[in-house]
Amino acid sequence: MTPDRFETWLYPTPSGLYCAPGDFFIDPGRVVGRAIISHGHSDHARPGHDAVLATPETLAVMRMRLGDGAGYSQQAVGYGETLRIGDADVTLRPAGHILGSAQVVIEYAGQRAVVSGDYKRRADPTCAPFELVTCDLFITEATFGLPVFRHEPDAREIGRLLDSVAAFRERTHLVGVYSLGKCQRLIALLRGAGYDKPIWLHGAMQGACDLYQSLGVALGPLELVSEARESLAGEIVLCPPSALKDRWSRRLADPVTAFASGWMRVRGRARQYGVELPLVISDHVDWPELVATIAETNAGEIWVTHGREDAVVHQIGLMGRKGRALALVGYEEDVE
Ligand SMILES: [Zn+2]
């Protein structure tokens, strides 16, 4: 094994991670000629690239979010389909993060690198499950890359929300969720737990919910808060985290404020948002899942893109593998 062998063909640049034999970037932070996009969140799918390659669902998300900025030319590639790009072979595999999310598998000169993008291992009724790909180089995120981060079972957190709704029938339950991915997953988890009443939405959630439903993800009856005649006592309302403390919520009936996020493990974060009912529901791996995934890929070398790089690189060393912090800029820890 020659040291630094991967760096000759796959490396970080100011625009983002670049694959030289394929002449493309993965989730670039700046406008580039050719981009492969792992998923539709705004810190990974930026506007203005010339050519964009992604799953059909990610392209649909990008068109909804970015309009004409979604890429001058767009190429949809389904999971498992291998394309030759320049001298590299590229295959997208499910990442289990949000609808359409993909790991980018790149094969070149007998080596296989996997760029995970954001990912999780738990079942999510709104997207295809993470598919483990063994590889020589695994490039991982580390949003929750500290041993303190352990996400609760989703069913337990949904149960806590439904118990609170049953206990406080005279109050509205206002739940902060990221509008793309977490919102639809929370709705699907509620439906799976037997909650079949209409779920009320802040207007910012409507576009992504409509898109998910048009792509075949059933979400049940949804209503807009702006069209409610009453104060929604006893109902569940979903809004962006930024709207939790807005004037907007004053029309609701003495709201119980909740927030569904992996960050709700941290008390200070819950306080910062004035959250009474923190729900630890995340679309990223927690620490045990991150460590297990690194082991299962069998990769001898692991690069860490963003999040808690130091702790993860230390852990990789303890596992007898080579770790490196890429320190890529532009990824936001809060987008989850
Ligand atoms: Zn994401």
The string of pLDDT tens digits covering residues 54-66 is 999 999 999 999 9
| Dist. CA 317 → ligand 1 center (Å) | 26
* Mean pLDDT, residues 183-208: 97
Cα separation of 55 and 64, whole Å?
14
| Dist. CA 283 → ligand 1 center (Å) | 8
Domain boundary assignment for the chain: 6-148+284-325, 154-279
Which residues lie closer than 8 Å to 110 by C-beta, 6 or more apart? none
* Mean pLDDT, residues 289-308: 94
**Is domain 6-148+284-325 classified as CATH 3.60.15.10?**
yes
pLDDT band at 329 (very low <50, low <70, confident <90, very high): low
CA dist 290 → 61, 138, 266, 270, 318 (Å): 26, 12, 18, 24, 14
Say yes or no: do domains 6-148+284-325 and 154-279 share a fold: no
In one-letter notation, the amino acid at residue 119 is: Y
| Dist. CA 333 → ligand 1 center (Å) | 9
Backbone angles phi, psi at 91, to 5 degrees: -135, 135
| Dist. CA 173 → ligand 1 center (Å) | 25
| Dist. CA 24 → ligand 1 center (Å) | 20
3-state helix, strand, coil in the chain (%, to 5): 30, 25, 45
| Dist. CA 233 → ligand 1 center (Å) | 33
Q: For residue 1, what pLDDT is reported?
A: 44
Residue 3 pLDDT more than 60?
A: no
Q: For residue 307, what pLDDT is reported?
A: 78
Among 306, 328, 305, 301, residue whose Cα is nearest residue 316 = 301
| Dist. CA 43 → ligand 1 center (Å) | 8
DSSP structural state of residue 153: P
Q: How many CB atoms lie within 10 A of CB 331?
A: 18
The string of pLDDT tens digits covering residues 12-42 is 999 999 999 999 999 999 999 999 999 999 9
What are the tokens at 281? Answer: 């529901």
| Dist. CA 2 → ligand 1 center (Å) | 33
| Dist. CA 294 → ligand 1 center (Å) | 19
State whether residue 280 is helix, strand or coil: coil
Q: For residue 334, what pLDDT is reported?
A: 53
- Return mean pLDDT, the chain: 94
Backbone angles phi, psi at 225, to 5 degrees: -60, -35
Pick the CATH number of 154-279 from 3.40.50, 2.40.50, 1.20.1440, 2.30.30: 3.40.50
The string of pLDDT tens digits covering residues 155-194 is 999 999 999 999 999 999 999 999 999 999 999 999 999 9
Cα separation of 259 and 275, whole Å?
7
Q: For residue 247, what pLDDT is reported?
A: 82
In one-letter notation, the amino acid at residue 169 is: R
Distant-in-sequence contacts of 315-320, Cβ < 8 A, 24+ apart:
315/291, 319/291, 319/294, 319/295
| Dist. CA 248 → ligand 1 center (Å) | 26
| Dist. CA 221 → ligand 1 center (Å) | 26
DSSP string, 80-128: T-EEEETTEEEEEEE-SSSTT-EEEEEEETTEEEEE--S---S--TTSP
Q: What is the dihedral of CA 322, 328, 333, 336, to 10 degrees?
A: -90
Q: For residue 332, what pLDDT is reported?
A: 65
- The separation between CA 272 and the C-alpha centre of its own chain, rounded to angstroms, equals 22
What are the tokens at 194? Answer: 């037997």
Q: For residue 72, what pLDDT is reported?
A: 92
What are the tokens at 184? Answer: 């639809």
